[in-house]
Every structure is written in C-alpha cells, then in structure tokens.
Structure 1
Amino acid sequence: MPSYNFKAIKVVPSSKDFIDIVLSRTQRQTPTVVHNGWAIARIRQFYMRKVKYTQSNWHDKLTTILEDFPKVDDIHPFYADLLNVLYDRDHFKLALGQLHMARQLIDRVSQDYVRLLKYGDSLYRCKQLKRAAMGRMCTIMKKQAASLAYLEQVRQHLSRLPSIDPATRTILVTGYPNVGKSSFMNKVTRADVDVQPYAFTTKSLFVGHLDHKYLRWQVIDTPGILDRPLEERNTIEMQSITALAHLRAAVLYIVDISEQCGYTIAQQAALFHSIRPLFSNKPLLIVANKTDAIRPEALPDADKAILAEMGRAEVTEAEAQILTMSTLTEENVMAVKVAACERLLAARVEMKMQGKRINDVANRMHVAMPKLRDGASRPPQIPPSVLAARAAKSSSTAAALRKTERNLQEENGGAGVYSCDETKRYLLDNVHWRRDIIPEIMDGHNIADFVDPDIDAKLEALEQEEDRLAAAWEASGVGMQVDALSPQEALMLQRIRTRKVKIRALHQRQKAVAGNQAVLPRGADAERTLTTSRMRDSLEGMGMDGSLAVARARSRSRVGRKRERSMGPSAMDIDGGAEGEDGDVIMAPPKKRIHSSKSRSMSRGRLASMEAPTAKTGLKDSVQKNKAIKMADRQQRVRGKEARKGEGDRHIPSLRPKHLLVGHRGKGKTDRR
C-alpha cells in the first residue's frame, strides 16, 4: 500500500505571481539583445527560443502541480471519500482539469506562434509575434486565478491532515461527543489531544501510536457523531463516518454510562444501532466509560437491559462482553487497550488464513519431529538440589520484596504531590536517628566542626571560666578612663580613632564597588592623588618630556589664570623685573607689543598658528602631529565618499525614489520580456 505524504506538495502560487515567475525566468535565462546586422534567420531563432522557453516553463510548473496533488481515482477509498467530504470531489477535479486544459492551450499557442515565427520577414514582425505569444499565455493563466487559489487552500489543509496508513493495525475510537474518546487516546498513546468539558472539542481526525507485543499500533480519535440522518450530518461528523466505512480496524464504541455527556444511554444505544452496518466484518468492543461517577451495578434495570441488548448485537459470546473503564482514574484503561489489540490481531490472522496465499506459505513450512527409539516414558527430571536452591531463592526474593518509589508515589497522591523521603536511607549507627532534625549551619559555622562527645562538659567549664574572669575584672576596678589621659595621650587616641574610621570607610567603599570604581575627576579627588608631579614622572617613564604638559596643566588651572589676570605693574618693579632670592633683579622677557584694536581682530586660530607646532596639542613632536592630521584626513575622505557632511550626519537618503516607482508604464516599456 503506498504511503501518502501530503506535506510534500509544493506551494501553488497565485496567477499574478505565476506570471512574474515564468516571465522573469525567461528574461534571465535567454538572450535579451538583438545586434545590428543579424540575418533574419538568426532573428527568427532568437524569438523562437524565447517562446519555446516560456512554454516549457509553463508546462513544467503546471505538470508539477498536477502530479503533486493526489488523483481521486488512484488513491485509497478512505482518502478519496475524505477529499470528497472536506473539499468536494467535483470542485477538486474541476480545478485540476482546468489546469490540465491550460497546459494544453499554452502548448498549442506555442506551436502556433513558433510556426508563424518561421515565416517572419522582419525584426519588427518577429518581435510582435513573440509579444503576442507571451500575452496569450499570460491571459490563459490569468483566467486560472480561482483554480490556483482553491488548490492552494486545499494544499494547506492537506498538509495539516494526520498521516494515516489505511493498511496498518488500527484501533478506531467512536461514539457520542464528550464521552471520553480523546481522554482514552491520551492515556494509551503519546498523542496530546485537547480535552474540554464540552461537546465537539475534537473537530478532525487525530492519530496516535502505541506499542503492543513489539508491534506498532495506530489509534484514531474520531469526532463525535449525532443520531440523525446521513444527509443532515455536517463535515465534522462525516469524517468519522468515512473512517468507519473504509478503515479495516478494531472499533471501540464508548458509552458514557454516567450520562454526563448530555445524552442518555438510550440515545447512545440508538446511535449504535443506526451505524451498526459500518461495523460489519470488524472487531467491535463496547466500552462503558466513567465508572468512577457511577458503577455499572448501580444502573437502573432499563439501562442494564439496553447495554445487554447492545452486547447481544454481535454473534459470539466473546464479542458480547461489555468492558468497563474510567479514563479519570485510569481504571481498566490498559485492559481495554490489550483486549482491543488482541481482538484485532486475532481477526487479522483469521483473515490471512482464509486468503489464497496461505497455501503457498503453508507448503513451505515444515516442523521436524524426532522419532521414538523405544516405548519408554522419559519425563523431565529436575535434581532435588536445584529445586531446593530455587525454593530458597524465591523465599528470599519474596522477603526482600519492597515497594518502589513509583508505588509509593501512586499511593500518596501521585506526581507533584508525593515527596520522596531521603532520610530513610541514611547510614547511621542507630536507625532511630534518621528522623532527627539536625541543623547543618549554626551561627555561621558548620555543625560538623563541633561534633564532640564531651561537648556539654567542655561548654559548662568554659562558661564557668568566663564568669570567674568577669568577676575578677570587676573586682580589680582596672579600666580605661578617658578623663585620666594626658593631653598628648588624648590627642593620640583621637588620631587612632580617626584613622580607624577612615580605614573602615575606605574598606566599605572598596567592597561596595568591588574594584570597579570609575576614574574620578579632579574635583572629586579627595585624596589629591592626581598631581602634576605624578603626571611628569609617568611621562618621563615613557621617554617623553613632561615639562610642557605640567606647564600647560598649571597654566589652565583656575588659580594660575587668576594670578595672571591679577599681575599688573604693581607686581613688577619699574625696571620690568622682579627681585630674586639674593636680591638680584630678574628681568622679564621682552614681549612684542600689539595694538589693542589689532589684537582684538586676530582670530584665535591665527594666534595658535604663531605658537609651536606641538604646543597645547598633547603630541610629542611635529611628526606625531602630521601623522594625526593624515589620519583625520583619511577618516574625512570616507565620510566624503558617503556624501556626509561630517561624522554627526545621520541623514538617510530615499531608498525608493518616487519618480522611479510611481506612475504607469507606457507602450514599449516591457520590451525586456
């Protein structure tokens, strides 16, 4: 039996996308330029190639669509009727037939225009014939827009259908809505079907798998069915009817004996008798569910008679048995699963035995039997020592048998409620110590460090010693009296206490930032660690002259600027000098006099150009300055290529200019196709 993989069906594009795909492929895969001086035969071949290539693309893509979708007449009757229920067989065939006819029309148009192109007498006529051929092909596909859209919806729905193998071992669960079909499936398989306390939660077929006797079994959960005529049933119910009619499976008809589903037992029995013809030649099990709400023995006599009549609907007494279970408490759920699997397995074996191929297999089978050499009876003998060893082993095994954690979990509320007791396996000298509550940590110390058999006696002796020392100290009257200290001792004590406060504050600050404290500005440098002397030593350690940097830092300080502004004729001698330490007069360097109006008009950049090339730049020499200028120029060149005004320019030009994307194309704008 072939397997159906509906998820492998390729996407069906819309008519507009279809046309764009084929024409763009023709444009990319065929030549596009006709050069001057070409012979008319070459021009004909040029345009004939375009028409043939376009036709072959249409043909291949339409053939792929037609072959991907299943043919209703060739697939299994179950899938054929399921297609009819979900998508309407006539509409499905009509859509595929229209695409098949469109493929034939495109092939015919290509043949006609290739025949006309053979007699084209000019470049213009060949070009117009090519345009007409492609236009007719696109018109044909535009008319298939509805069929393509319908097939795409069918493809999406087919891809969501479960993968059902009609020939494998199958268990079919059916019945009224909300009787426990999905709950049973979730218990016996790895499927996860939505279960809700209202009817028609399951609206389509769901498939799960289970293992029994090293074989894989398929369980199908069907939507609920109502007792009404076939023509009045909707699409959801018809899916269940289709599965019951075409799948050779064991049928589990579930009855809600508690009537919590909203339907009485009589109504469920009426549905059973109405769909009974669908159960012919199939193993059937009638399962009474929800025994946790009401026991079968507590049912009224009328309901018991109805259930008995449903059981007598079958031929044999074995099949007349009504099974009971509860999906809520999982009572007899596994028994129902095993019974269904065994019944189906026996039915499949019996069917194979009735077939014609069993004779061919039986003729090839031979069971060898040994010949008796005499008539003596030789029953199997087991030595008494072996029997004694087996008996001793079985008795010890029974004695050592204990409940597992899984059994304890089920007895004490199940998963999420039961908590495993780890203390019962503690290896202690006395088993009664296992339940003792012993703290592991006390007062920041590990209890295991203080385990001592004489701990109580030592503790009592230590407390007595402490009391004795405290009494001796109080009796001596010795203590530190701050008032009795001398001024020098009081000052020393104050310094010690201040130092301790600073150390404690520093430790707390370093511990808070964990060594990740950011660099503080000079204004926040409380300890005055950022000094010019340290900067000069650091620069000199790197081999650079730090005097200029120190002078620059001092000239930019606030005190230095105030001093320069405050310095006037009163700060210097009349001779233009200052008196040194030895009384000598130190002359100030001569300065170039600049007129006040001219000095105001000079720009700051011109003054900077008059200074040294590396003054106030932080660079060691002119070589470094030139290198920095070149690096800045290179960076500016990159921004210039991007048409940016500077590194702060964040303007993004229009990526889709309006003059190229707005408006209609006139004649001659599609020649590239």
Structure 2
Amino acid sequence: MVNYNFKKITVVPDGKQFVDIVLSLTQRQTKTIVHKGDKISKLRSFYMMKVKFTQSNFNEKLSAIIDEFPRLKEIHPFFDDLLHVLYDKDHHKLALGQLNTARNKISQIATDYVKLIKYGDSLYRCKCLKVAALGRMCTVMKGIGPSLAYLEQVRQYMARLPAIDPNTRTILICGCPNVGKSSFMNKVTRADVDVQPYAFTTKSLFLGHTDYKCLRYQVIDTPGLLDRELEDRNIIEMCSVTALANLRAAVLFFLDILGSCGYNIAQQASVFHSIKSALKNKPLVIVCNKTDLMPVEKLSEEDKKLIEEMKDEAMKTAMGANEEAVLLKMSTLTEEGVMSVRNAACQMLLDQRVAAKMKSKKITDHLNRFHVAMPKTRDDQERLPCTPQEACEKDQKRKTEKDLENENGRRGAGVYSASLKKNYILANEEWKDDIIPEICDGHNVSDFVDSNILNRLEELTSEESLRRAEEEENGFEIEGEELTEKEKNNLAAVRKTKALLIQNHRLKKSNAQNRATVPRKFDKDKKFTRKRMGRELSSLGLDPSSALNRARSKSRGRKRERDDDFGKDSMEVDVNDDEQQKKKKKMCLRSKSRSLSRSRSVSRPPHEVLPGEGFKDSSQKIKAIKIGNKSHRKRNKAARRGEADRVIPCLKPKHLFSGKRGNGKTHRR
C-alpha cells in the first residue's frame, strides 16, 4: 500500500464562496452580450451554453473534492482507525455522499433546463429559463454548506497528521505520561518534540527518523496512557492505542522507576498489562528510565517483582529474545544507555522481519537461484592462511609529503621542506639537485658574470666619453660638408631648442596622465604658428621662405572668394559691354578651375565594398545589409531601443480592458 499524502487535498470552500467562484468563471469565460435582433437559434445557443458551462464547473469542482478525500476502506487500517478516532468516519461518509447527491442534482437541473431553453420562443423566455437554472443550482449548493464546512475542518486536521509509513521499519515509544518518551525521541532523532515537566505535553503522534546499519527507521512518539478501560480513554490516548494495534513495530515501554512522573511502578505495570493484547507478536523492550537518580538495585522487592513479571511478558512477545535485550536501563539526562536501547530495538525488529521473510513462500524461489559451492578436502593436512610479503607491502599506505611534514616538523627553522624535484624523471638521478641556469636573450646568465666587471665598466665609461667627444667635434657636418662657425652655432641653438621642446612635451604628457595631445588647430595660446616660426628662423639668421611655403602647401585650402576686381567692375555703369563680358568670362574660367581643384568628394554608395570590410563583392554586402535589417525587425516591432532594452510597458491599458466586451472570446485580443 502506498502511503497516502493528505497534504495534497485542495482547500474546500464554503457554500457562498463555491457559488461565487463558479458564477465568476461563467461570467468571465463565456460571452456576455447578445443582441435582441439576433436569430432565435443564436439566442438559444447563447443561454444553453451559459447553463452547460455552469453545470460543468460545479461538476468538476465537486468531483475533485470527492476524489481527493480518501476512501476509508481503501487506505491502511492504521489511518482508517486514526481518522475514525479523530472524527467520526460516518459523518465523513455522509458529507461526501451529500456532495455526490448535489452533483447529480445539478446535472439533472442543467439537463432539464437545456431542454426547455432549446424550445424558447423569445429572448426574454430564454433569459428567464437561464436565471431559473442557475438559481436552482445555487440553492442546491447552499444546502450542502454545512457539509463543505465540515470537510474543510477534516482536511485541515488530516493535513497536520505526520507522514507515517505503516509498512516501513518502525519503533514505537509508549508508556505513562511524563516518563521521558519525548526526551528519548529528541536524543535519537532530529525531531524537536516539546518537553515539559508536566503530564500530557505530547497530545498527538510525532514522527522522527534514525539510522542503524545503513537502514532508515522511523520513530513514533505517542501520548501518555492511563490505567483505565478502553471505553473511558479520551482521543489523545486512543491515538496511542491505534498506533499500537495497527503498526508492525518494535515497542519501547518506558518505565519511570523513580516515580517522579506521578505514577508508581505498580500503576505503570497495570497500564502495561492493560495494553498487553495490542503487543502480541511484536518485539518489546522494557526501558527503565531515570536510573541516574534511582538505580534498579535499590528498588523494593515488590517493585522488582513487578518488573520481573513485565520482563517475562516481554520475553513471550519477543519470541525467544535475549533476557538482557528485553530489560534495559537508561537515563536521558546523562544519555547513559540511550544508544544501546535504540540499537537493541532496531536489532530485534530487524531479526523479526528477517525471520518472517524466511517463513514466507517466496524464500524458496529466492534460494533456488543461489548455489553455494563447498570444496572437498584432498588430504588430512591442515593448511593455515598465508599472505605473501609482497602483498603485505602493497597494502601499506604510501607516505605522502604531508605525512613526512608531520613526522619531521612543520614549523620553525631547519624543519622538513618538501622537495619539488624528487619525482623528476631524468637520465641521471644526480641531475635532480642541479641549479637550473637562467637564460637571457638566448645566453646563459652565468656567461655575463666576470670577476673584473668593475674594471671593464671603467674602461667602457672612458671609451664612451672619448666617442662622445669625437661626435661633438664632427657632429656639425651635414651631408659631408663642413659648416662655418656661424652655421655651427645656429645648428647647436636649433638642436638645443628641439631638445627643450621634447623635454617640455614629455613633461606635459606625464602630468596630463597620457591624455591625447592637442592638435594645432585647437591651440588657443597660438604657440605654433607660421608667423612665429618665420620670426624664430629669421632671428637665427636663416631664410624662412622655403619652410613657410612648405607649411602653406600642407595647410588646408581656403574657401573660394569672389574677385575684388569683378565685384568693383560689376558695380560700375560706365564700363563697356565688351570689356564686361571678357571679365565675366575670365572670372568664370578662374572660378571653374578653382572649384574643380578644390571640389568636395562625391558621396560613396552604401553597397560599395571598401578594403578590409570582409565582403567579396557588392552583391554579398547588399545581402548582409538585408539580413541585418531583418534581424532588427522584431526588436523594432516590440518598440525596443536595442537588445539590452528590458523596459516592461503597461501590458493592460485601461481603454482595452475596461467595460463590457462584444461578441467573441477573451483570447481574440
């Protein structure tokens, strides 16, 4: 049987909410406007659709409620009895039966009124029949309002039940109130059960899980039991009795030998004997708790006798279990014996389940699949097991660098330092400790090491000073021609000025943090002009005309201007016509030649292929432009600025989603 999940049951609305939900669905998901001048067939289909749609919604929601609630005969007897204890299962069946009856009534109402609307002779008649059909459906739903409210309460209580699997390995903790059951539960599992120093702190079943021998066991903490008849027990006690009667589990009966729980050992033994019938054929362990305050040896003879009687009963139900495993001592305060109690219960439960499987009929089918080969002895000589030395050496764990560090010390001077060269694979083992030479420009660094390096440095310095002196003497020669003394002075001044300009430029660039240099056309201080260059060259005694002409040829051409003579002649009235025409002709030729020489470049067509663009020809470029425009089309339709535009506009503008709608469906927009 699969564990039933009661938490998946949907919320059950009350009668008024049920009607509101269905009528709202009918209003929103069907047509809302019909015209008086439409054909009678269209009017009939409009109102028949309203009635059928309402009936289908009622039917769907009622069927979901009926199907999601469990059938008490189809679930495990533990849940059947537990739900019957928590609430009367007869009321549960009656409530579900009333929902089923209401569903059938609504279906019958819809069938009858659809037949009447089918023969309606006017808009008014069809509308009245539709209103009557929906009204009767709502009346039926209001009649089952108390049943819906009752089922909602049942659903809430069922959703709070722990997810207990009745077929898995289970340990059940029971006993009188306030004997340490919840404390033991918190010690062996990760459950957080409330523990208080008064009785009936635990009012329902609590579930936890623990592991033993790589297997998962569920541990159930039950409320306390009192010594009274079954008919007199309340709902809290009946939860414990239901779990004891219906779950195949190992039972831990807790016994407070100190009596601080409010019940002496005689009363606790009486409770044990009252539930003895529910403990048959189940592993049972008597747990003496609070032994840190009162050892078992210090108990009176009467109490010891009662404990021995309980031990004998446990031996009978445990079917030949060990005496030491049936009666255990424990203290949840000091945690002494807690894990031994858990292990004993798990082991007893495991042995019982294995024994039950061995007695089943399936074991023969499984045993037939196994074959155990038993070797025959060839002689009477005894041969002891022997392991080769090589195998023993292989089993030894190889020491790592971390192990060597731990053995030889990890801190301080002169301790072990891991060698990165010990695992090098070389032709000669002695090469591992050689110093690897450093290479610079294809040469070994050791080649540059010299003992007389300081003497050589002095020689190089003196040689360099001699070379500089020779260059200064012969540095004023240009293209093999010797310069005069005046020309040498001028050349030295130019070189000095050039060096100062370079130095200023580098300083300015470093202070400006490598910003781009300002072009000359944006030079507001007018430091670099042709006039200044002419003045400086003239001051040096040089002819600046060639430098100025070269600078003018590289500068940008001026805009075309009118000829002053032509302007003056055009204003004079006394000049002859022939002379005027000649001057006009001459002016046109001059302006034409100037315009041709300084005309603007023609605009380049978009399909022209430039070198470096990566296109083979103009047709390929046109095709690429078309593909690019097509890829932007979707973005442009969505009114996006670019691919990274994530602005979400108003998806429901008021002028499109307010007021009544015309014919058609909702998704037509």
TM bracket (short chain):
0.5 to 0.7
Task: Letter of the 1:341 partner, please give it.
Answer: C
Contact 1:253/1:286 (<8 A) preserved: yes
**Residue 174 of structure 1: aligned partner:** 174
Choose from 362, 366, 369 the match for 2:371: 366
Choose from 364, 382, 406 the match for 1:377: 382
Asked if 1:105 is matched to 2:105, the reply is yes
**What is the CA distance between 1:31 and its match in structure 2?**
0.8
Task: Letter of the 2:60 partner, please give it.
Answer: D
Task: Letter of the 1:162 partner, please give it.
Answer: P
Ranges of 4+ aligned residues in structure 1 off by more than 3 Å: 368-377, 382-391, 425-429
> 1:24 is paired with a residue of what secondary structure?
helix
> 1:179 is paired with a residue of what secondary structure?
coil
Q: 1:428 to 1:256 in 2, by over 3 A?
A: farther
Task: Letter of the 1:296 partner, please give it.
Answer: V
Q: Which has the higher contact order (CA 8 A, sep 6+)?
A: 2
Choose from 340, 345, 368 the match for 1:335: 340
**What is the CA distance between 1:371 and its match in structure 2?**
5.0
Q: 1:52 to 1:211 in 2, by over 3 A?
A: same
Q: TM-score, normalised by structure 2?
A: 0.57
Q: Which runs of 5+ in 2 are unaligned?
A: 399-408, 414-669
Counterpart mapping for 1:45-444 below 5 A: 45-313=45-313, 314-315=315-316, 318=321, 320=323, 321-370=326-375, 372=377, 376-382=381-387
Q: 1:387 to 1:283 in 2, by over 3 A?
A: same
**What is the CA distance between 1:426 and its match in structure 2?**
11
> 2:34 is paired with a residue of what secondary structure?
coil
Query: CA offsets per residue over residues 176-208 of structure 1, 9 Å max, x none?
Result: 000000000100001010000000000000000
**What is the CA distance between 1:366 and its match in structure 2?**
2.2
**Structure 1 Cα separation of the partners of residues 367 and 390 of structure 2:** 44
**What is the CA distance between 1:291 and its match in structure 2?**
0.4
**What is the CA distance between 1:37 and its match in structure 2?**
2.6
**What is the CA distance between 1:32 and its match in structure 2?**
1.3
Contact 2:178/2:200 (<8 A) preserved: yes
**What is the CA distance between 1:381 and its match in structure 2?**
2.0
Query: CA offsets per residue over residues 3-24 of structure 1, 9 Å max, x none?
Result: 2111111111111111010001
Task: Letter of the 2:373 partner, please give it.
Answer: A
**Structure 2 Cα separation of the partners of residues 171 and 83 of structure 1:** 21
Contact 1:266/1:306 (<8 A) preserved: yes
**Structure 2 Cα separation of the partners of residues 257 and 325 of structure 1:** 11
Contact 1:285/1:319 (<8 A) preserved: no
**What is the CA distance between 1:374 and its match in structure 2?**
5.3
Counterpart mapping for 1:457-606 below 5 A: none
Q: 1:389 to 1:40 in 2, by over 3 A?
A: closer
Query: Which range is displaced more, 81-90 or 358-367?
Result: 358-367
Query: CA offsets per residue over residues 569-612 of structure 1, 9 Å max, x none?
Result: xxxxxxxxxxxxxxxxxxxxxxxxxxxxxxxxxxxxxxxxxxxx
> 2:242 is paired with a residue of what secondary structure?
helix
Task: Letter of the 1:327 partner, please give it.
Answer: T
**Structure 2 Cα separation of the partners of residues 137 and 296 of structure 1:** 71
Contact 2:244/2:278 (<8 A) preserved: yes
**What is the CA distance between 1:385 and its match in structure 2?**
10
**Structure 2 Cα separation of the partners of residues 49 and 389 of structure 1:** 84
**Structure 1 Cα separation of the partners of residues 112 and 394 of structure 2:** 96
Task: Letter of the 1:67 partner, please give it.
Answer: D
Contact 1:174/1:181 (<8 A) preserved: yes
Task: Letter of the 2:198 partner, please give it.
Answer: Y
Query: CA offsets per residue over residues 518-541 of structure 1, 9 Å max, x none?
Result: xxxxxxxxxxxxxxxxxxxxxxxx
**Structure 2 Cα separation of the partners of residues 215 and 386 of structure 1:** 34
Task: Letter of the 2:333 partner, please give it.
Answer: L
**Residue 598 of structure 2: aligned partner:** none
Task: Letter of the 1:63 partner, please give it.
Answer: S
Q: 1:42 to 1:318 in 2, by over 3 A?
A: same
Task: Letter of the 2:187 partner, please give it.
Answer: K
Q: 1:205 to 1:137 in 2, by over 3 A?
A: same
Task: Letter of the 2:76 partner, please give it.
Answer: H
**Residue 26 of structure 1: aligned partner:** 26
**Structure 1 Cα separation of the partners of residues 199 and 18 of structure 2:** 43
Query: CA offsets per residue over residues 218-239 of structure 1, 9 Å max, x none?
Result: 0000000101011111000000
The alignment of Structure 1 onto Structure 2 pairs a total of residues equal to 398
Contact 2:257/2:265 (<8 A) preserved: yes
> 1:172 is paired with a residue of what secondary structure?
strand
> 1:209 is paired with a residue of what secondary structure?
strand
Contact 2:36/2:123 (<8 A) preserved: no
**Structure 1 Cα separation of the partners of residues 179 and 242 of structure 2:** 20
Task: Letter of the 1:37 partner, please give it.
Answer: G
What percentage of aligned pairs have identical amino acids? 61
**What is the CA distance between 1:281 and its match in structure 2?**
1.1
> 1:311 is paired with a residue of what secondary structure?
helix
Q: TM-score, normalised by structure 1?
A: 0.57
Contact 2:250/2:284 (<8 A) preserved: yes
**What is the CA distance between 1:277 and its match in structure 2?**
0.3
**Structure 1 Cα separation of the partners of residues 60 and 393 of structure 2:** 80
